[in-house]
């Protein structure tokens, strides 16, 4: 291969150099075409110029248009991301407001139910809010935000909207501690509704189960039967407060008592509002 052939080959192998040469050639042809307007030579040059520049223009367009599309798409994508982030924030705000509204509605319903309890009518009471639970291996209690300054006394019964939860065991100026009926040291004199059978409801250390002792074997019972405080002389609770419902019962041969378990009427593990009844056992206070 001659030096001249090698130079030409190298020239056309390098695309960027080739493109530059074609652009310069186009400019030269444009200049010649301008100076030769109106002549046959000018027309010929214009035709030649078009045949050279059209492919260049087509190639440039094929490169530029996709780039424009990519740039436009990038801006559109960024805009969509911003819009999506805005919508997500709005959705999160709406969900928060909905949760707050639901909570407030639930609190209103709880307070309304507590104000309209059908039992312990005629007794004065103090409404309180549960501050915290303090269950342990030895005692199941909760604290409320009312104390001696509001007239709360040790020994007074504490109820929720659906029934008994326990009694006050200690009092400070502005708070009180309530022993739950689920505590193993708790005992409540009860009457089983359909039979008027008297028993003793004892805590098991579980929020969901209370055991009833001293029920005569063969006592007529049914699942779901309501159980109330008996209010017998010397009892620590007034009569007719719902305690729970019969969850299961059985009688073993030769047993001196029926085996009875209750489900507490109140969800003892999730209390928020309670009411302290102004009532003390006979001889106390």
Based on the domain organization, do 45 and 133 belong to the same domain?
Answer: no
What DSSP element (H or E) covers 43? helix 40-115
| 86 and 215 both lie in a single domain | no
Q: Are residues 104 and 234 in the same domain?
A: no
Q: Number of structural domains, the chain?
A: 2
Same domain, 45 and 74: yes
- Which domain-ending residue is among 116, 142, 173? 116
Say yes or no: 247 and 282 in one domain: yes
The encoded tokens of residue 242 equal 């719902």
Residues 105 and 174 in one domain: no
Sign of CA dihedral 8, 14, 20, 23: positive
User: At which of 65, 86, 116 does a domain end?
Assistant: 116
**Phi/psi class of residue 214: alpha, beta or left (left: φ > 0; alpha: ψ in -120 to 50)?**
left
Give the CATH number, domain containing residue 204: 2.40.10.340
DSSP H/E element including 252: none
- Taking only the tens of pLDDT, the chain with its 285 residues reads 555 554 445 544 455 555 555 555 555 555 555 454 545 555 555 565 566 556 656 665 565 556 555 555 656 777 887 888 888 888 888 887 777 776 666 555 555 666 678 888 888 999 999 998 876 656 899 999 999 999 999 999 999 999 999 999 999 999 999 999 999 999 999 998 777 889 999 999 999 999 999 998 888 899 999 999 998 867 899 999 999 999 999 987 778 899 999 999 999 999 999 999 999 987 665
Domain with 253, as residue range(s), is: 124-285
């Amino acid at each position: 291969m001659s030096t001249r052939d090698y130079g030409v080959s190298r020239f056309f192998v390098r695309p960027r150099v080739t493109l530059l040469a074609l652009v310069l050639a186009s400019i030269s042809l444009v200049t010649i075409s301008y100076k030769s307007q109106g002549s046959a030579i000018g027309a010929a040059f214009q035709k030649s110029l078009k045949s050279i520049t059209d492919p260049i223009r087509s190639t440039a367009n094929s490169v530029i248009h996709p780039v424009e599309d990519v740039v436009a798409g990038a801006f559109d994508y960024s805009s969509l991301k911003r819009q999506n982030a805005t919508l997500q924030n709005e959705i999160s705000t709406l969900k928060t407001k909905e949760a707050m509204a639901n909570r407030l509605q639930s609190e209103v319903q709880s307070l309304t139910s507590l104000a309209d309890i059908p039992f312990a009518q005629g007794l004065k009471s103090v409404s309180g809010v549960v501050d915290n639970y303090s269950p342990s291996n030895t005692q199941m209690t909760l604290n409320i935000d009312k104390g001696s300054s509001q007239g709360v006394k040790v020994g007074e019964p504490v109820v929720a909207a659906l029934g008994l939860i326990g009694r006050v065991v200690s009092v400070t100026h502005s708070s009180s501690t309530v022993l739950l009926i689920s505590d193993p040291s708790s005992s409540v004199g009860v009457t089983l509704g359909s039979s008027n059978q008297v028993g003793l409801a004892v805590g098991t250390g579980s929020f969901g189960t209370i055991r009833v002792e001293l029920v005569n074997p063969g006592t007529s019972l049914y699942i779901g039967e309501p159980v109330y405080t008996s209010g017998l002389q010397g009892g620590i609770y007034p009569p007719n407060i719902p305690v729970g419902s019969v969850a299961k019962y059985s009688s073993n041969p030769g047993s001196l008592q029926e085996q009875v378990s209750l489900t507490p009427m109140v969800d003892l593990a999730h209390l928020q509002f309670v009411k302290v009844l102004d009532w003390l056992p006979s001889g106390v206070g």
